[in-house]
Structure 1
Amino acid sequence: MAVDPASKKSKTEMKIGTHSGTFHADEALAVFMLKLLPRFKNSTVVRSRVPDVLEECDIIVDVSGKYDGTKHFDHHQREFVDTFSPEYKTKLSSAGLVFKHFGKEILSEQLNVPVEDASIPLLYEKVYAGMIEAIDGNDNGQSAYPDEIKPAYQTKAITLPGIVAGLNPNWNDDNNDEVLDSKFQVASALMGSVFVDIVKYYGKAWLPARDLVKDALEKCTEYDADGRIVVFDKFVSWKSHLYELEAELGIEGRSIYVLYSDGKGWRVQAVSLDPDSFKSRLPLPEPWRGVRDQALSDLTGIEGGVFVHASGFIGGNATREGALKMAQKALAMQ
């Protein structure tokens, strides 16, 4: 007997299940991430709280009270305590669960590189820490700050979870299932667009910059015998890599000044104590601070002086050679 095409389609069509009613950022993102995979690309999203309806789905997120790593990806059960890895303390939400199990495959698809590529584990960790963990923490009520620290102002409405929450109908609006399902699609697309942008940033900008920073660190002794001056022949986003690579290469705290072109001249920037600090490991010399142009050249004895910031965290010279001399002389003076 011939099989009706419509019947055949219904049997092979994949379904992603999640809960109905009010939606949140974690399952909105979880559903979007699943649909980035070829096998779920054209899936129907089923929003329900009826167990039998959900069990007909191929995968279920954020509902069912079960987590098995294959079909069920819920985190609400009392005994659930899973984190991304032993190094993390933030409990996973449905977004974290989906990323933990499918993240490497998703990254491979989005960046068009084999899942076995050496970059995938690095990006897998970076994307989780850079976005997904915050969604997990928010959904599970885990603050990023100690309880004793009180915010100076409210940010809830401008966070991604806050914006997604605001997409839910108001209590006095029409909030039937059709409206909620439609709004959920908007929320999922919003979360997904941010996720895709972050993946592309880490894969196509952050990762290439890492290789350039590592190369520059390995050439530091060309400019200073102790390797304290890092030189980039073109501007590169170096701050997010330098500290991690210093640790990886066993040279923590070694880099003192970073040189790079600003497109017109050259900058000498003092490396901060850590990525979040405003204090430098070694600011440019105090007598130079706040001095500009010819007065700076006269003071330092180096032609092409442009400026030194009043705090000493950065200075400038018209040429690469002049900026390098400034960094070398600053080291010799302190």
Structure 2
Amino acid sequence: MAESASKRLKTDGGITIGTHNGHFHADEALAVYMLRQLPTYADAALVRTRDPALLATCHTVVDVGGEYDAAANRYDHHQRTFATTFPGRPTKLSSAGLVYLHFGRSLVAQKLQKPEDSDEVGLLWNKIYESFVEALDAHDNGISAYDAKGLEAAGLEKRFSEGGFTLGAMVGRLNPNWNDPVPSDPQEAQAAEDERFVAASARIGEEFTRDLEYYAQAWLPAREIVRQAYQKRLEYDPEGRIMVLEGQSVPWKDHLYTLEEQEGTDKKVLYVLYAEKPVPDAKWRIQAVPVTKDSFQSRKPLPEPWRGARDEQLDGITGIPGGVFIHASGFIGGNKTFEGAKAMAVKALTL
């Protein structure tokens, strides 16, 4: 394989990224993708090999070579002594995390068109690691999201299969099957394998880019809107348990939890009100705040007698006109007007 890799190596002085050949994983697939989004690496060639002599000719090497040295552009994590983590996080890095640690600020700054040392870049640099990259670091290093001994002690078991469709599995399934035909010519076989890797890198990269674009273009602009709504919450309830998003709904959960944590208050927001559409006659939603961002458990679900009711039936139960529906689980409901939704929230606080 070393010979065919050598033939693929550019000799015109351009930058070459090196990674290992053979079975590929999500971490090096994302590492290569992230590098190639930066101007320095935009036209970089790729060499997949384990030959130390060939790797030594590469400008940057990820996930192979047994060396972590950012000054030399070497980003492997398989050394016995390797224990590097992202700032403030406990998970040992993979090649994806290493590349993101050193180049992630540049990627975020490039997207936001702001200096790398700006507060916004720092905020998103941390957020995207926690929301996306850390899962790949954990997957590649064999770190479970839950403590296995703790789960066993609690007697907890999965109720159903999740299909195994994790970010890591999404890349892994693009490897060839054990019984797929392989070209007899080593160079052709390596070229076919490299083609699969390039497709896998683009696939995981597409998801990374969607995450980056969401947080840059939707999540970050919502921060100020939620902050203003949080500051006005006492206008709707003396204990600040109702928050109203004026204009239209925005991604609010992360920002709300952060604001509450920063304030250190015991008086948590229980219901968030927002219009379905940014038009004057829009219907309004009332949503119970979940215990955590991804939890199906609410801090205070809408009252049980209301759940599953709609329209006139709901009006009769609540005594509030304009009801549209209450979800069977009590996590969300609706009313035709803001005043109606506010009345539902105020009444729900007492039940």
Please state if 1:169 is matched with 2:183. no
Alignment partners' CA distance in 1, 2:39 and 2:223: 30
Please state if 1:77 is matched with 2:79. yes
Alignment of 1:214-233 (within 5 A): 214-233=227-246
**CA deviation map 1:156-176 (0-9, x unaligned):** 3x3332232232233342162
- Aligned letter for 2:263? L
Residue number in structure 2 paired with 1:212: 225
Cα deviation for residue 133 of structure 1 reads 0.8
Alignment partners' CA distance in 1, 2:334 and 2:207: 36
Structure 2 residue runs without a partner (length 5+): 1-9, 184-188
Alignment partners' CA distance in 1, 2:249 and 2:217: 16
Closer, same or farther in 2 for the Cα pair 1:15/1:257, shift >3 Å?
Answer: same
Counterpart of 2:200 (choices 170, 187, 193) is 187
- Aligned letter for 2:173? G
Cα deviation for residue 10 of structure 1 reads 4.4
Closer, same or farther in 2 for the Cα pair 1:291/1:24, shift >3 Å?
Answer: closer
CA contact (8 A) 1:259 1:323 kept: yes
Cα deviation for residue 318 of structure 1 reads 1.1
Counterpart of 1:239 (choices 248, 253, 264) is 253
TM-score of the pair, normalised by structure 1: 0.88
Residue number in structure 2 paired with 1:55: 56
CA contact (8 A) 1:231 1:259 kept: yes
Closer, same or farther in 2 for the Cα pair 1:311/1:139, shift >3 Å?
Answer: closer
Closer, same or farther in 2 for the Cα pair 1:24/1:116, shift >3 Å?
Answer: same
Alignment partners' CA distance in 2, 1:32 and 1:97: 13
**CA deviation map 1:69-105 (0-9, x unaligned):** 22210001111111112x3222111000000111000
Cα deviation for residue 253 of structure 1 reads 4.6
TM-score of the pair, normalised by structure 2: 0.84
Counterpart of 1:315 (choices 318, 324, 333) is 333
Closer, same or farther in 2 for the Cα pair 1:250/1:30, shift >3 Å?
Answer: same
**CA deviation map 1:138-183 (0-9, x unaligned):** 1111122232355442633x33322322322333421621111221
Counterpart of 1:248 (choices 254, 259, 262) is 262
Please state if 1:160 is matched with 2:167. yes
Please state if 1:293 is matched with 2:324. no
Alignment of 1:78-117 (within 5 A): 78-85=80-87, 87-117=88-118
CA contact (8 A) 1:206 1:237 kept: yes
**CA deviation map 1:172-217 (0-9, x unaligned):** 4216211112211111111111111111011111111222112110
Please state if 1:202 is matched with 2:209. no
Aligned length: 323
Closer, same or farther in 2 for the Cα pair 1:50/1:310, shift >3 Å?
Answer: closer
Residue number in structure 2 paired with 1:326: 344
SS of the equivalent of 2:21 reads: coil
Closer, same or farther in 2 for the Cα pair 1:223/1:43, shift >3 Å?
Answer: same
Residue number in structure 2 paired with 1:125: 126
CA contact (8 A) 1:111 1:200 kept: no
More divergent stretch after superposition (285-294 vs 47-56): 285-294
CA contact (8 A) 1:164 1:187 kept: yes
More divergent stretch after superposition (89-98 vs 299-308): 299-308
CA contact (8 A) 2:28 2:96 kept: yes
Alignment partners' CA distance in 2, 1:159 and 1:283: 30
CA contact (8 A) 1:271 1:280 kept: yes
Closer, same or farther in 2 for the Cα pair 1:268/1:160, shift >3 Å?
Answer: closer
Please state if 1:270 is matched with 2:288. yes
Residue number in structure 2 paired with 1:36: 37
- Aligned letter for 1:259? L
Alignment partners' CA distance in 2, 1:145 and 1:203: 29
